[in-house]
Amino acid sequence: MKPIQLFDPASSTYTYVLFDEASREALIIDPVDEQLERDLQVLREYGLKLVWAVETHAHADHITSAGRLAEHTGAQTAAPEACGIRTAAVQLADGRALHFGSQTVRALHTPGHTAGSMSYLWQEGGQAHVFTGDTLLINGCGRTDFQSGSAEALYRSLTQVLFALPDNTLVWPGHDYQGRTHSTIGAEKATNARVAGKTLAEFKATMDSLNLPKPRRIDEAVPANLSSGMRHDAGGALLMTVRAATGYAGDVSPQLAYEWWKTGQAVLIDVRTDAEREWVGFVPEAIALAWKQWPGMALNPDFDTGIRAAVPPGTKAVLLCRSGVRSIAAAKRASELGIEAYNILEGFEGDPDDQAHRGRRGGWRYHGLPWRQG
């Protein structure tokens, strides 16, 4: 069985959907933001349940839809650990296997185009497939002149990792600008104009003399892709403004809270219960201090001591709960204790939508801010 190969004409990007026939579980590689509706339609048509949305690297030429796909389908996002995509739920190390149904895809670290770049190997029936991103293209390879690229590393990845695969392995590239769909390891080893029969020095000389223009969308795409395509800049001014409140310092957007926290102006305090963080997800490095706690959702008797200890003088506190209700109560109490305390609007999960599902209407997670599954 072959992967479903999808094409984005604006960026000449290939997206791949791999699935397990029996369970209908699927994995998508390098989904493109503008093609979200098409990809959801493909999943519906084939009757697939997406379980993984995977990146080969942090792209400079298009924005990923991985974050939004995950919100729509419940898939988990995964990205190479050295790409700095902190919103990805799973950070992939070399050799890591991803399972969907009875199928397995294995991550191969193939640095060079970027330091974190990975290829993905899929053994399906008797056929091996490798998804090479921008590491190996048909009769070409990705550039190495920006984004932590290295011609030496790319040469090693091509000649020692990818060309070590069996010759009949099918090569599925991240792009093609001439309508070609796939190749084989054997063909690329024999005829790839950049690398076939070239020494490292020859390869480096070629790569150094390409003089390619800067990608049109790099300044926009790379920052967005570092948060799985979830943008923090929509609605600019209002998002970064404190809204007045009574009884505590004010209401802030998740984005403003994140900025204060990351720049050391505020301490981030998660006031949900241990069980909620465990089941729904948590914000790495946030201080966990429940406002109420099971059993019985009684007020946490240690809240006052805990928040006094957590917030140094002169620092703000930004309080996060599920949807911004408990965090108001907690912010009021903190204010009584003399702390400059803010409520984070929408909380971790946002408000419920028409089907009573959370996570699709705002919230820390929806906006692509860092979090992890428990």
CB 220 → Fe ion: shortest distance, Å?
Answer: 14
Residues that bind Fe ion (rule: CB under 5 A) add up to a total of 2
* Residues between 171 and 200 that touch Fe ion (CB under 5 A): none
CB 345 → Fe ion: shortest distance, Å?
Answer: 35
| Residue number, 77 or 255, with CB nearest to Fe ion | 77
**Residue 203 phi, psi dihedral angles, 5° rounding:** -60, -45
| Residue number, 134 or 276, with CB nearest to Fe ion | 134
* Residues between 94 and 123 that touch Fe ion (CB under 5 A): none
Q: Please give the residue whose beta carbon sits closest to Fe ion in the complex.
A: 134
Per CB under 5 A, 134 contacts Fe ion: yes
| Residue number, 150 or 327, with CB nearest to Fe ion | 150
Applying CB under 5 A, which part among 130-138, 151-159, 231-239, 251-259 lies near Fe ion?
130-138
How far is Cα 166 from Cα 336, in angstroms, rounded to an integer?
68
| Residue number, 134 or 251, with CB nearest to Fe ion | 134
CB 238 → Fe ion: shortest distance, Å?
Answer: 33
How far is Cα 71 from Cα 68, in angstroms, rounded to an integer?
5
| Residue number, 59 or 232, with CB nearest to Fe ion | 59
* Residues between 20 and 79 that touch Fe ion (CB under 5 A): 59
Applying CB under 5 A, which part among 34-42, 72-80, 134-142, 206-214 lies near Fe ion?
134-142
| Residue number, 59 or 272, with CB nearest to Fe ion | 59
How far is Cα 185 from Cα 211, in angstroms, rounded to an integer?
27
Alpha-carbon 184 to chain mean position:
29
Task: Give the residue from 38, 33, 52, 48 showing the smallest Cα distance to 6.
Answer: 38
| Residue number, 114 or 227, with CB nearest to Fe ion | 114
Kindly report each contact of residues 17-21 with a partner whose C-beta sits within 8 Å and lies 24 or more positions away, as own/partner: 17/42, 17/43, 17/46, 17/48, 18/100, 18/103, 18/105, 18/122, 18/124, 19/46, 19/48, 19/100, 19/101, 19/103, 20/100, 20/101, 20/102, 20/103, 21/101
CB 82 → Fe ion: shortest distance, Å?
Answer: 14
CB 22 → Fe ion: shortest distance, Å?
Answer: 34
How far is Cα 369 from Cα 310, in angstroms, rounded to an integer?
22
Task: Give the residue from 268, 271, 264 showing the smallest Cα distance to 254.
Answer: 268
How far is Cα 291 from Cα 284, in angstroms, rounded to an integer?
19
Task: Give the residue from 265, 278, 276, 369 showing the smallest Cα distance to 327.
Answer: 276
Applying CB under 5 A, which part among 132-140, 252-260, 326-334, 343-351 lies near Fe ion?
132-140
Q: What region does 346 belong to: left with phi over 0, alpha with psi -120 to 50, or beta?
A: left
* Residues between 314 and 373 that touch Fe ion (CB under 5 A): none
| Residue number, 85 or 321, with CB nearest to Fe ion | 85
Confirm if 204 and 152 have CB atoms less than 8 A apart.
yes
Applying CB under 5 A, which part among 127-135, 214-222, 230-238, 287-295 lies near Fe ion?
127-135
Binding region for Fe ion (CB under 5 A): 59, 134
